[in-house]
Amino acid sequence: MTAAMQEAVIIKGVGGFYYARTQHGEVWVLRAKGIFRRQHITPVVGDRIRFIPSEDSSQGWIEEILPRQNTLIRPPVANIGHLIFVLAPEPLPDMILLDTMLVMAQEQGIPVVIVLNKIDLDPSLADTIRAQYAKAGAPILAVSAKTGQGLHQLAKVLLDGICCFAGQSGVGKSTLLSAITGLTLQAGEISRKIARGKNTTRHAELLVKDGFQVLDTAGFSLLSLWENMEPVALQDYYPEFAPYRGQCRFQPCYHLSEPDCAVLGAMEAGELSRERVARYHQLLTKAKEAWRNRYE
Ligand SMILES: Nc1nc2c(ncn2[C@@H]2O[C@H](COP(=O)(O)OP(=O)(O)O)[C@@H](O)[C@H]2O)c(=O)[nH]1
Ligand SMILES: [Mg+2]
Ligand SMILES: [Zn+2]
């Protein structure tokens, strides 16, 4: 008699073994059947899988990987519910990093929540960010890990599916996470070096506690984003540009300096943030460069 199939989430992968957690909190050590290898499918952290437990141990075989909602490849993870992008009055906000993350997340269909931490230091940052990101498709939460302001709302987001943190070093990601969940983030931030093309072998782990599921990584390599994006598609990941689609004189239009461009017109009319559009131009340059060099 074969045991009944069970469902679990992969929390870690080590040397061909996958640690999978059932909803009852049991952790099984599983291996992937040869069929996955033949199909070039590797189970990743966050995957929801079905497995048949062996009857005499806590081992077993992964029989099925359920369809993924989204995937990121460096580190490899799947089924992220929210990306929590943290910024603060200090260190000085890196808005290009935020905009790049928003593009990457949009491209993968991952909802982003922008978290302004250390609001105790300078409440005016919230106004600046709201002015630039009100139409960018991501809710904005002003919080302080120090005073506790807004942590209740952030906790609600963290309880909704798998979450991962992103943002510069020093903005307070670890402090926020441990204040809310008691969990500890791995050191290591998203780095410009990684973004420029160095490979990283780091693997993610899913931390689970009291209904929270958080990836221990504090960032993702953004390299893969530019490797695969046609520059003209970049604008599609700016939700605030959508109302002007098809209204420019030239088609396609990069909204760079073309005459009768509806996006630039909206910016001049104050409907779109000048700063966001200027950074879109910077990212466009980057996307074009990466696209030209993609076969190198
Ligand atoms: N004033 C203030 N300082 C904070 C707050 N949150 C974190 N910090 C401080 O910011 C520094 C960096 O925090 P950390 O969690 O290590 O940042 P991470 O690199 O993003 O993980 C630490 O000294 C924290 O004590 C906050 O809400 N207000
Ligand atoms: Mg940290
Ligand atoms: Zn245009």
49-106 pLDDT per residue, tens: 999 988 888 889 999 999 999 998 888 899 999 999 999 999 999 999 999 999 999 9
Residue range 162-181: mean pLDDT, rounded: 94
Q: Is 174 in the pocket of ligand 1 (CB under 6 A)?
A: yes
Instruction: Supply the pTM of this predicted model.
Output: 0.92
Q: How far apart are CA 219 and CA 192, in angstroms?
A: 11
CATH code for the domain of 43? 2.40.50.140
Question: Residue 147 CA: which ligand 1 atom is closest?
Answer: 27
Residues 188 and 288 in one domain: no
Residue 126 CA to ligand 2 centre (angstroms): 22
Residues 184 and 110 in one domain: yes
Residues 14 and 152 in one domain: no
Two tokens, residue 183: 């969990």
Residues 79 and 154 in one domain: yes
Residue 219, pLDDT score:
74
Within a domain: 236: yes
Q: Letter for the amino acid at 42?
A: T
CATH code for the domain of 103? 3.40.50.300
Q: Residue 189 pLDDT more than 70?
A: no
Q: Letter for the amino acid at 105?
A: A
Within a domain: 93: yes
CA distances for 71 relative to 7, 63, 224, 248, 250, angstroms? 19, 20, 12, 33, 34
Which 3 state secondary structure label does DSSP give 264?
helix
Q: Integer distance in angstroms from the first to the last C-alpha of the chain?
A: 54
Least confident of 188-202, 204-218, 256-270, 271-285: 188-202
Q: Is 172 in the pocket of ligand 1 (CB under 6 A)?
A: yes
Within a domain: 1: no
Mutate which of 164, 173, 175, 180 for ligand 1 pocket (most atoms within 8 A of beta carbon): 175
Within a domain: 251: yes
Q: Residue 129 sits in which domain range?
A: 72-221
| Count of alpha carbons within 13 angstroms of residue 224, beta-carbon side | 14
Q: Residue 194 pLDDT more than 60?
A: no
Q: Say if residue 93 is preceded by a cis peptide, omega within 30 of 0.
A: no
Domain count, the chain: 3
Residues 165 and 271 in one domain: no
CATH code for the domain of 242? 1.10.40.50
List Cβ neighbours of 285 (8 Å cut-off, separation of 6 or more). Answer: none
Count CB neighbours of 200 within 10 A: 15
